[in-house]
Amino acid sequence: MGEQYDSDLHLHSQYSGGTSPRMVIREIARGAAKKGLDLVGTGDILHPKWRRHVRRELVEDEYGLLKEPKTGVLFVPTVEVEDERRVHHLIILPSLDHAEELHGELSRYSDDIDAEGRPHLRMTGAELADLLKDHDCLFGPAHAFVPWTSVFKEYDSLRECYGSAMDRVDFVELGLSADSDYADRISELHEYTFLTCSDAHSPYPHRLGREFVRFELEEPSYDVLKAAIRRKPGGRVVLNVGLIPELGKYNRTACARCKRQFELEEAERLNWRCPECGGTIKKGVRDRVLELADLEKPKHPNHRPPYLRIIPLAEIIAKALGLSTITAKKVRAVWNSLVRRFGSEIDVLIETPIEEIAEVDERVAELLKSFREGTVNIRPGGGGEYGKIITEEESEREEPRSRKPVQRTLDELIGRG
């Protein structure tokens, strides 16, 4: 048996559009340590300035991964790229030298590879997959179901996207608005490892690691990580951890401007134009999965690990305290008290007994208990707006609403105890 590593393999640097200027290695490592992450992706590793920054800030550890010296957080080179059909793909690389080589090859197909952390490529997904055959990397579609820039926004199957290079696809990243139950209603996906990642644009714990993968690795090396994702001896995925899909900002079909939500048939009848504000209605992940599903219920293959649904701790604290913002001083104070006492946000969310959390704050403990038992109500997200936890009183007044499905405890999910 190897050691377990909580890992977030998809995030971005300050060189990607819409990201925080604090997305530098030191801040990412600090945020990862507070969250409880052991391994994170560098993001944006094809960008020359970011690659130089990574070389300065990280050192190679004894197993060949990169390490931030002060925190001990491990990094692996990663990048998200956009193809000519606006489909996003995630690439995981063994080293900075490999990233340098790949930059040289892909620069022939990109006008912004030296300016944008998430470069645009004049290639199809199939052409990209074919080019990567000669590189020792891991590759798969990023946030596969989102309605703007994903494989299932543009295609009805992976094969339509990757064609004869299908054997080059190592994983499917689910995205924040989907989970294993959603994806495993599509039998084509049963053969793939699912990755759950944050796609973080800031280093704060409510963004970084909001979705992560728990790997069991014989050693923390790229080769063993690759073995785990490809389901070969040496490593394995033991847990996917992510948001309740309804909390994702693209879960329901909704107007991208005013966020009004629609049933799929209504959106089609309106020709995808909002009658309230004239904005574009975007098809939600839930409805897209229903279109693609060839199974009435999810059928999980034997290799599929459990999926544990979580939510950022700051959101739980803010709701428990009756505050409207997760950055309020009172929220930070309770968050700091819990993390200092119990080790990390992940520890608080899924490992620490509720009675011990109650010693710090009974209100937070009560809400977290409801969350773990599956008795919280959710106002689903859509149109680019995240879903929200709502009280029983709010749920009676507001539509649409969704009750989080009951999930087993972590011990029950992984057969511990």
Same-domain status, 106 and 186? yes
Residue 147 pLDDT = 87
Q: How does pLDDT run across 84-106, given as a tens digit for each residue?
A: 999 999 999 999 999 999 999 99
Kindly tell me if the per-residue pLDDT of 226 is higher than 90.
Answer: yes
Residue 391 pLDDT = 67
Residue 400 pLDDT = 44
**Model confidence band, residue 340 (pLDDT cutoffs 50, 70, 90):** very high
Give the residue among 146, 210, 171, 144 at the shortest CA–CA distance from 6. Answer: 210
Same-domain status, 340 and 223? no
Same-domain status, 149 and 74? yes
Residue 127 pLDDT = 97
Same-domain status, 356 and 273? no
- How many domains are there within the chain? 3
Q: Looking at the domain assignment, is residue 293 inside a domain?
A: no
**Model confidence band, residue 416 (pLDDT cutoffs 50, 70, 90):** very low
Kindly tell me if the per-residue pLDDT of 197 is higher than 90.
Answer: yes
Give the residue among 43, 30, 24 at the shortest CA–CA distance from 73. Answer: 30
Q: How does pLDDT run across 119-176, given as a tens digit for each residue?
A: 999 999 999 999 999 899 999 999 999 988 999 999 999 999 999 999 999 999 999 9
CA–CA gap between residue 114 and residue 107 (Å, rounded): 8
Q: How does pLDDT run across 199-222, given as a tens digit for each residue?
A: 999 999 999 999 999 999 999 999
Same-domain status, 225 and 358? no
Kindly tell me if the per-residue pLDDT of 417 is higher than 80.
Answer: no
**Model confidence band, residue 376 (pLDDT cutoffs 50, 70, 90):** confident
Same-domain status, 316 and 213? no
Segment 260-265 shows an average pLDDT of 96
Residue 366 pLDDT = 93
The answer to whether the beta carbons of residues 67 and 38 sit under 8 Å apart is no
Domain that holds residue 405: 312-413
Segment 337-364 shows an average pLDDT of 95
The answer to whether the beta carbons of residues 240 and 194 sit under 8 Å apart is yes
Percent of the chain at pLDDT exceeding 70: 93
Mean pLDDT of the chain: 93
Q: Looking at the domain assignment, is residue 295 inside a domain?
A: no
Kindly tell me if the per-residue pLDDT of 347 is higher than 80.
Answer: yes
Residue 308 pLDDT = 92
The amino acid at residue 308 is L
- Assign 234 to helix, strand or coil: coil
User: Where do the H-state alpha helices sit in 132-206?
Assistant: 151-154, 158-162, 180-183
Residue 277 pLDDT = 95
Q: Looking at the domain assignment, is residue 305 inside a domain?
A: no
Residue 401 pLDDT = 46
User: Where do the H-state alpha helices sit in 343-391?
Assistant: 345-346, 354-358, 362-373
For residue 256, the number of C-alpha atoms closer than 13 Å in the C-beta half-sphere is: 10
**Model confidence band, residue 392 (pLDDT cutoffs 50, 70, 90):** low
Joined together, the tokens standing for residue 237 give 């995925």
Same-domain status, 270 and 370? no
CATH number, position 222: 3.20.20.140
Q: Looking at the domain assignment, is residue 265 inside a domain?
A: yes
- Assign 140 to helix, strand or coil: strand
Last residue of a domain, one of 201, 223, 246: 246
Residue 389 pLDDT = 85
Q: Looking at the domain assignment, is residue 297 inside a domain?
A: no
- Dihedral angle sign, alpha carbons of residues 400, 295, 86, 265: negative
Same-domain status, 372 and 270? no
**Model confidence band, residue 370 (pLDDT cutoffs 50, 70, 90):** confident
Kindly tell me if the per-residue pLDDT of 394 is higher than 80.
Answer: no
Kindly tell me if the per-residue pLDDT of 402 is higher than 70.
Answer: no
CA distances from 343 to 35, 70, 243, 350 (A): 9, 17, 21, 12
Residue 153 pLDDT = 95
- Assign 172 to helix, strand or coil: strand
Q: Which helix (H) or strand (E) holds 390?
A: strand 388-390
Q: Looking at the domain assignment, is residue 214 inside a domain?
A: yes
Kindly tell me if the per-residue pLDDT of 409 is higher than 80.
Answer: no
Please indicate whether residue 226 or residue 412 has the higher confidence score (pLDDT).
226
Q: Looking at the domain assignment, is residue 286 inside a domain?
A: no
Segment 254-275 shows an average pLDDT of 96
**Model confidence band, residue 352 (pLDDT cutoffs 50, 70, 90):** very high
Q: Looking at the domain assignment, is residue 327 inside a domain?
A: yes
